[in-house]
Structure 1
Amino acid sequence: MATMAECRSALDKLSDNLAEASGDVRSAATLDRSLSCHVKDLDVTFTGRLVDGRIQVLDTADGPPRERAEIRLAMNGDDLVAMVDGQLDFARAWGSGRVRLEAGFRDLLRLRSLLS
Structure 2
Amino acid sequence: MATTEECRSALGRLSDNLARAEGGVRSATALDRSLSCHIKDLDVTFTGRLEGGRIQVVDVHDGPPRRKAEIRLAMTGDDLVAMVDGELEFAKAWATGRVRLEAGFRDLLRLRSLL
TM-score (norm 2): 0.99
Secondary structure at the aligned position of 1:65 is classed as coil
Q: Give 2:47's aligned residue.
A: 47
Letter in 1 for 2:98: R
Secondary structure at the aligned position of 2:35 is classed as strand
Letter in 1 for 2:92: R
Letter in 1 for 2:49: R
Q: CA deviation at 1:114?
A: 1.2
Q: CA deviation at 1:39?
A: 0.1
Letter in 2 for 1:7: C
Secondary structure at the aligned position of 1:108 is classed as helix
Q: Which runs of 5+ in 2 are unaligned?
A: none
Q: CA deviation at 1:102?
A: 0.2
1:25-74 Cα deviation digits (max 9, x unpaired): 00011100000000000000000000011000000010000000000000
TM-score (norm 1): 0.98
Letter in 2 for 1:16: D
Aligned length: 115
Q: Give 2:89's aligned residue.
A: 89
Identity of aligned residues (%): 80
Q: CA deviation at 1:4?
A: 0.4
RMSD: 0.4
Q: Give 1:2's aligned residue.
A: 2
Structure 1 segments, 4+ long, off by >2 Å, are none
- 1:102 and 2:94 equivalent? no
Secondary structure at the aligned position of 2:36 is classed as strand
Q: Give 2:27's aligned residue.
A: 27
User: Within 2, Cα distance between the matches of 1:111 and 1:59?
Assistant: 23
Q: Which runs of 5+ in 1 are unaligned?
A: none
